[in-house]
Structure 1
């Protein structure tokens, strides 16, 4: 018989800890996006106006590199190090990284401030990666019979963090409170879940409980070449969801006539609600079919965002995009776990790391596309620096259009990939997860 990984485990409390930790990750991400304009205006424009959007893209993007780095290395070592230790370390990283960003101008002056901002975001990203590297396989261990639904519920609390972070940023800005006060909110939930971890007994991962050794888990990738198709798809789905979310306030605020962060809050609230109903959708459509529909809507929404020039068109486009990207990340993780159970936490970690790495490289590239487009519209950086009023808005609208249309190509290309997989599975009688016993896993 398969060992019950939940013997003696307080499943509800451990899932609550996971929820708060992922909420903290979302809160940090929202506040990073919310303060990006302040950081760019206060520091980066003075350092290099021509490349300030690239620089803020690098600062925002480095958190995703930290995420990918810690996720990649922590996932295969999850049982060896211990879930409680990794969750505790993640809280320390959130606290330390946040404080470094807040006090960057106290540590350095001039162009050196960039590196403190960059380093603080990197450490915060490492904390985020440790959360993902722990909570995803933890959830599949707690709920092995309901992976896709439970991972969607867990990841509903990522957009919940985005909602709270976005609204807090807008509210505190209305009271003319510093961006530093806004970003310090990350400290509160970090301390809460760090305290809750003390004294808790955590389960083994599903892989370890089934008797699969670490060596078998690591070498499984050589036996599953089809897994690389899913890695490639994860790169594009992550870019479709997370890159626009990091740029929406910076890029859309001037073009839609309202705080762009409010669009991110609205979409995040939509995602929070919808992810709780993934189990209902999966009764009627397979996970791959759900991913195909998600990509179709995401591509359409991103294309429409490129033309958004008012609050109404902004909300309409954001709704379509938000519905499209809602189920992408958790469904991709669950699908990898269900298709390749011998890969365990290592495969889940690789999926998350691939998604994060894509954002680290995509954000600066998108910043470069935006910077180049605004300069091309104005006729050069000197001409752009002199624009104001309607002329400035026209340049930003043109740059936003080019940027979002570029991102729309990512989910558009995946329609062919997921369409082929979906069609092939239907010919074989439909999708079904790989179900194996402990004895079979150990072969």
Structure 2
């Protein structure tokens, strides 16, 4: 069989499905973890923080050493660690202290997830082709479709076989990274840019536009994951819908809308101004968080959760593409730094949501007001926690406006022309 770069792209697509599995399987089990292991909201928030915090550390290490070790070795190792971590998620909580077992499993698959995240974008960016922004958006759409697949199949499994057999679910999902790891042993891997062609990290960090891009990546990760990680629990506990409907109308529909947005831009992105699209998406994100957290009608609240998927669809891949346009010689270091910032957001966004939620439901004043309005302490806590995440898309709006103005005047390393029209 002849292995071409097309097969490399396909392996990268599957890599993002693996990434979706390790990031979104555990949140579907949060309610089960609460019931079986008696975890608090802050402990669940800590699991989310541990996942993306570990990925953050791995991103930082990979920025320095991935080029030297080689893309192929890193990608194969990443997939093996993802598989081991998923198996551990099902086994360890029943072998050692449950919370410690969950934490150890999360660390294992997060190391693999961090490597996948930091390397897949530069691999696809290095594959020969013209429209990098569309290719990047299409690549990231597979994370969304992977999330849809994870939610749908996992929900069906739990509905058919019952919550008592949840431990089998992560073991079954471990087959995916094992199979894709074998693919990365065979497919051609593009060579990273030569050292003399790369923009030094110091120059990147000296650019005001890149500094704003880093902040926006942090906020993009926080805005996306705050909703993605908490929507299932929010739908069931704050809105009062069943777990099946909560998973389908919460994280699943969120992922569908996010996937549609990224796929649309991946196919027709040449005709759309990237900066304008980012601004529209960030404003829609503000509106969707308001709707989800403040609407009393569960239907409208779930519509807010779903629309948030569409709103955040372009933020992460769009910022990667925007940065690649500004700094075409950025290479692995640039993508790695942005991935670090995104993972910081992925860590602190859901953690802040959980922290604020628990603080709100422990506030006597808020609990009294909630009772007067017909809400339980947990319901008002989850609503206020989700509302706190609106800060992130608001910052993105300001960042986009600032970047657009600054790009007209700042001389960018490796690029001197003005912002390209789309």
TM-score, normalization by structure 1: 0.84
For 1:422, the equivalent position in structure 2 comes to 404
Q: Alignment partner for residue 145 of structure 2, among 160, 177, 180?
A: 160
Question: 1:207-230 deviations in whole A, cap 9, x for unaligned?
Answer: 33x8426xx533433543431111
- Aligned 8 A contact 2:257 2:307 in 1: no
Distance, in Å, in 2 between the alignment partners of 1:119 and 1:309 is: 39
For 2:420, the equivalent position in structure 1 comes to none
- Aligned 8 A contact 1:255 1:396 in 2: yes
Q: Which runs of 5+ in 1 are unaligned?
A: 1-7, 46-51, 437-443
- Aligned 8 A contact 2:328 2:415 in 1: yes
Q: Alignment partner for residue 233 of structure 1, among 216, 224, 230?
A: 216
1:343: how far off? 2.3
Query: Aligned with 1:277: secondary structure?
Result: helix
Q: Alignment partner for residue 347 of structure 2, among 350, 360, 370?
A: 360
Matched, 1:321 2:308: yes
Matched, 1:133 2:115: no
- Aligned 8 A contact 1:240 1:411 in 2: yes
Closer, same or farther: CA 61–223 of 1 in aligned 2, 3 Å? closer
Matched, 1:122 2:104: no
Question: 1:50-95 deviations in whole A, cap 9, x for unaligned?
Answer: xx11111111221101211222221343332111111111111111
Give 1:273-292 correspondences, 5 Å limit.
273-279=260-266, 282-292=269-279
Question: 1:265-313 deviations in whole A, cap 9, x for unaligned?
Answer: 1121122222122156544542222111111000110111102444421
Matched, 1:17 2:11: yes
Matched, 1:267 2:222: no
Pairwise CA RMSD of aligned residues? 2.8
Distance, in Å, in 1 between the alignment partners of 2:266 and 2:159 is: 39
1:252: how far off? 2.3
Q: Alignment partner for residue 99 of structure 1, among 87, 93, 114?
A: 87
Query: Which deviates further from its counterpart, 316-325 or 278-287?
Result: 278-287
Query: Aligned with 1:145: secondary structure?
Result: coil
Q: Alignment partner for residue 89 of structure 1, among 67, 71, 77?
A: 77
For 1:439, the equivalent position in structure 2 comes to none
1:144: how far off? 5.0
Matched, 1:69 2:63: no
For 1:5, the equivalent position in structure 2 comes to none
1:235: how far off? 0.9
For 1:404, the equivalent position in structure 2 comes to 386
Query: Aligned with 1:201: secondary structure?
Result: coil
For 1:243, the equivalent position in structure 2 comes to 226
For 1:149, the equivalent position in structure 2 comes to 134
For 1:3, the equivalent position in structure 2 comes to none
Distance, in Å, in 2 between the alignment partners of 1:410 and 1:172 is: 34
Distance, in Å, in 1 between the alignment partners of 2:115 and 2:77 is: 8
Give 1:40-59 correspondences, 5 Å limit.
40-45=34-39, 52-59=40-47
Matched, 1:307 2:294: yes
> How many pairs are equivalent?
405
Distance, in Å, in 2 between the alignment partners of 1:253 and 1:64 is: 24
TM-score, normalization by structure 2: 0.88
Matched, 1:220 2:214: no
